[in-house]
Amino acid sequence: MIELSCQPEPISLTEVDFADRTYPFSWGAPPAGLVASVRRLGVMVPPLLAPGTKGWIIVSGRRRLLAAGEVGLAEVAVGRLTTADPAELLPRVFWENAGSRSFNPVEAADILTVLEPLLPAAELARDVVPALGLASGARTLARCRALHDFPEVLRDLAAGGRVDGETVDRLREWSPAAIAAAARRATELPLNRNQLRELVELVDGVARRQGEPPAVVLTRLKDAAGNGAKDGDGPGRDTPAAVRDRLRGWYYPHLRAAEERFDRRRAALGLPAGVCLQPAPGFEGGFLELRCRVAGGDAWRTQRDWLAALAPETVDELLDV
Amino acid sequence: MNSLTSDGNFHPRRLVVETDVARYPFAAAIRDRLAGVPVVVVDRADPETLTALPDPELPTLVLAVHRGRFFKPCPGTAASYRCCLYHILHLALGCTIGCSYCVLQGYLNRPFITQFVNLEDAWRELETAFAAGDRFYRVGTGEFTDSLFMDDITALSPRLVQFFARQRQAVLEFKTKSVNIRRLLDYDGDIGETVVSWSVNAPAVAEREEGTAPGIERRLAAAAACRQRGYRIGLHFDPLIWFAGWEEGYTRAVEMIFDYLRPDDIIWISLGAFRFMPPMREVIRDRHPASCIIHGEFIRGLDGKMRYFWGLRRRLYEHLRRQLNRRAPGVRQYYCMEHPEMWRRTFGAAPADNDVVSRLLDRACWRYGDSCLNVR
């Protein structure tokens, strides 16, 4: 057993290899509360480091060290291990972390992915998965593996809770370039969790139907935004709603054409003020939804007369989408 | 491991038998035909027991006693759609052909095929229902399984044909994609008015989406052989799939039909556009990642199922009907689970209720005319 308690000694932050993720217990910026605490009190609990090839690697305390850097500390007192066996340390440090905080989705995914080869499957399912706040089942493990390997830009979104499991399921079949492109789009617009899921679902659907890689669809989507005048968005401007609308237009071309045809016919009918006539565009037969807003006897008479004059053929034509 | 030959037949590598089945001669006959296949005896072939068996992917035939009803109305769909009031004879459960669109995938995730062996109870149930004499029945065995894909093992088809040949107010319909018709052809008794129906589709759909099922041409050759023996032939264009080149594909399918069959050979043709309950989308995506069928333009229908957008369904139906009417104008066509408005737009009239659809098909049966029931 490795003895984790060792005498803290100061170390320059420049000697710490922040890029190393042998011990992947945290991802993302340190919480504001921790930064405020470090600014006021310094790093109270020494992080634990081990020797690595490009400097000292972080075994535990990444967020404390990042907070120290953020508040301008040059040195931090740390515990240094002379040797470290990740196979032995990883489970132990995991349980120390799990006892004191919860993990964001990326951290949970990274931890499960590194612990998977080290622990028996039964122990993983019984103890580790619940401690990470994850659902049980093979799908969870597949999602975690995918999230572990996703590009940084998407992992940042996921750490912020903006990537749900279904989105991960779709994205894990995409190329890294396409995943990064989707994540950049989600950051620029910006898209919330549901909007991102819908974007990925639609891009994936369009790509599969057309037999194109998702990256091509995303490029086309971006180009279409550039030609925004045509789409009514204005050049160079784009919004989540406009992107969704454009994608839905590609994914539902016949439905979109039918909606437009219906709108033209409805406009040609000359509806009286206050009357709203709506079919479900995916019309299943039988009815149109007619809404009348009546503000007085005159409006009522106008609308009644209009309805009385509505020929069955006109209704048929309206419904013939 | 693939349990199927190119004929789409089922070849079990393991037999699971309930202790109760020993007293049924039908079970003993199946076990004789599968001599050499390892046998596991269980008290009850419930899902927990089956999934706990070692090697759950091994193609397995389960012989079990059915404790529920064998004979029941087809579940059909919501009242918003027209249904033909078909009846199901539930003798087996599961299919290994592996069509990407198959609804059975939603229920069964293991290659366990269950054959119920208490046929005596099934016959009794049927006789009781038919004895009431108050209606005409079209009865199918292909709702929860393929009617013929293991008929070489069960030898059930001749027994069913024989039983239904004696019924005056019922016809039996086998529904299949297989070409496992040897026992039907070899049966030399009275076949009554038994219908053997094949699911047909555009050749490209059959190749891409219908697992190990034989191609359309082989199915039609089997249909022609059954017709030659005297069976009536039904065809089911279900599900119709919207894909690039669908018009040519379905035109070709219709041409192929009449390369093998004459219009008079065909008792009915059903048309049904692809539809599925929303959770099936994930099942299909997981089990058939290369399939594109879930990427059509779907709307959620009045029964909660995802259906092609109205305009697409209509184009599919109109095209098929045009092709069929060109080659066989007199053959009865009907929609499976379609909205009356779709009937009205494409057939010119909408059936007022499900009884009207039912009678349309009943009247295609000769024995309906003989049964004195055609006055309702």
Task: Kindly identify which residue of chain A lies nearest to residue B290, measuring between CA atoms.
Answer: A208
CA distance B10 to B7: 9
CA distance A99 to A102: 8
Contact B219, B179 (CB under 8 A): yes
Contact B229, B190 (CB under 8 A): no
Residue of A321, A73, A142 lying closest to B342 (CA atoms): A321
Is the peptide bond preceding residue A190 cis, with omega within 30 degrees of 0?
yes
Contact B167, B136 (CB under 8 A): no
The dihedral region occupied by B60, where left means phi > 0, alpha psi between -120 and 50, and beta the remainder, is: beta
- pLDDT computed for residue B23 by the predictor: 92
Letter for the amino acid at B110?
Answer: R
- Quick one: how far is CA B76 from the chain centroid? 14
B208: Cβ–Cβ under 8 A, 6 or more apart, which residues? B100, B291
To the nearest whole number, what is the mean pLDDT of chain B? 92
Residue of B58, B51, B109, B144 lying closest to B286 (CA atoms): B109
Task: Kindly identify which residue of chain B lies nearest to residue A258, measuring between CA atoms.
Answer: B311
Kindly report the nearest CA distance between residue A314 and chain B, in angstroms.
Answer: 15
- pLDDT computed for residue A319 by the predictor: 77
- pLDDT computed for residue A39 by the predictor: 96
What does the DSSP 8-state code read for residue B20?
Answer: G
CA distance B116 to B21: 9
CA distance B307 to B299: 5
Question: Which of A197, A248, A284, A289 is the mutation pick for testing B, counting most B CBs within 10 A?
Answer: A284
Domain ranges of chain B: 66-92+120-367
Cα within 13 Å of Cα(A191), Cβ side: 26
Residue of B152, B149, B176, B169 lying closest to B231 (CA atoms): B176
What does the DSSP 8-state code read for residue B53?
Answer: S
- pLDDT computed for residue A233 by the predictor: 46
Considering only CB atoms, B341 lies closest to which of A280, A282, A285, namely: A285
Question: Which of B287, B310, B335, B346 is the mutation pick for testing A, counting most A CBs within 10 A?
Answer: B310
Residue B318 pLDDT class (50, 70, 90 cuts): very high
Chain A residue numbers touching B311 (CB-CB < 8 A): 254-255, 258, 321
Contact A105, A160 (CB under 8 A): no
Kindly report the nearest CA distance between residue B137 and chain A, in angstroms.
Answer: 29
CA distance A25 to B300: 43
3-state secondary structure B90-159: CCEEECCCCECCCHHHHCCCCCEEEEECCHHHHHHHHHHHHHCCCCCEEEECCCCECCCCCHHHHCHHHH
* Res. B327: pLDDT tops 90: yes
What does the DSSP 8-state code read for residue B58?
Answer: S
Kindly report the nearest CA distance between residue A146 and chain B, in angstroms.
Answer: 16
For residues B339-364, average pLDDT:
92
Chain A residue numbers touching B292 (CB-CB < 8 A): 208-209
B223: Cβ–Cβ under 8 A, 6 or more apart, which residues? B196, B198, B233, B235, B260, B261, B265
Q: Do B302 and A284 touch (CB under 8 A)?
A: yes
Q: Do B339 and A282 touch (CB under 8 A)?
A: no
Q: Do A284 and B289 touch (CB under 8 A)?
A: no
pTM of the predicted model as reported, rounded to 2 decimal places = 0.84
Considering only CB atoms, B311 lies closest to which of A209, A251, A254, namely: A254
- pLDDT computed for residue A227 by the predictor: 67
Class of domain B66-92+120-367: alpha beta
CA distance A221 to A234: 15
Per-residue pLDDT in tens (0 to 9) along chain A, 321 residues: 455 556 899 999 999 999 999 999 999 999 999 999 999 999 999 999 999 999 999 999 999 999 999 999 999 999 999 888 999 999 999 999 998 889 999 999 999 999 999 999 999 999 999 999 999 888 899 999 999 999 999 999 999 999 999 999 999 999 999 999 999 999 999 999 999 999 999 999 999 988 899 999 999 998 888 765 444 444 456 899 999 999 999 999 988 888 888 888 888 888 888 888 887 666 776 677 888 888 888 888 888 888 888 888 888 888 776
Task: Kindly identify which residue of chain B lies nearest to residue A259, measuring between CA atoms.
Answer: B311
B71-73 and B112-116 as β-strands: parallel, antiparallel, unpaired?
Answer: unpaired
Q: Do B297 and A255 touch (CB under 8 A)?
A: yes
Q: Which residue numbers of A have CB closer than 8 Å to B's CBs?
A: 173, 205, 208-209, 251-255, 258, 280-286, 319-321
Kindly report the nearest CA distance between residue B299 and chain A, in angstroms.
Answer: 6
Least reliable range by pLDDT among A22-36, B92-106, B202-216? B92-106
Chain B residue numbers touching A254 (CB-CB < 8 A): 297, 309, 311-312
Contacts 24+ apart (CB under 8 A), A90-99: A90/A23, A90/A114, A90/A115, A90/A118, A91/A115, A91/A118, A91/A119, A92/A4, A93/A23, A93/A25, A93/A48, A93/A59, A93/A60, A94/A25, A94/A128, A95/A131, A96/A60, A97/A25, A97/A60, A98/A131, A98/A132
The SS3 of residue B198 is strand
Q: Do A255 and B299 touch (CB under 8 A)?
A: yes
Q: What is the ipTM of this complex?
A: 0.77
Give me the helix-helix angle, A193-210 and A240-251, nearest 10°: 30
Considering only CB atoms, B309 lies closest to which of A282, A286, A319, namely: A282
- pLDDT computed for residue A312 by the predictor: 82
Residue B249 pLDDT class (50, 70, 90 cuts): very high
Of all helices (H) and strands (E), which one includes residue B162?
A: helix B156-165
CA distance B74 to A190: 49
Considering only CB atoms, A284 lies closest to which of B80, B292, B295, namely: B80
Q: Dihedral, CA atoms, B279, B283, B284, B285, nearest 10 degrees?
A: 100
> Which stretches within chain A are classed as H helix?
32-41, 62-71, 86-98, 105-115, 121-123, 129-131, 138-149, 152-159, 165-171, 176-188, 193-210, 214-226, 228-231, 240-251, 253-269, 297-309, 312-319
The tokens for A240 are 């989540």
Chain B residue numbers touching A205 (CB-CB < 8 A): 295
In the block, tokens 């199922």 appear at: B305
The SS3 of residue B221 is helix
Kindly report the nearest CA distance between residue A257 and chain B, in angstroms.
Answer: 10
- pLDDT computed for residue B331 by the predictor: 94
What does the DSSP 8-state code read for residue B191?
Answer: -
Find the radius of gyration of the CA atoms of chain B: 20
Report DSSP letters for B282-339, one per residue.
HHHHHH-TT--GGGS-EEE-TTS-EEE-HHHHHHHHHHHHHHHHHH-TTS-EEESSB-
Residue of B209, B1, B174 lying closest to B92 (CA atoms): B174
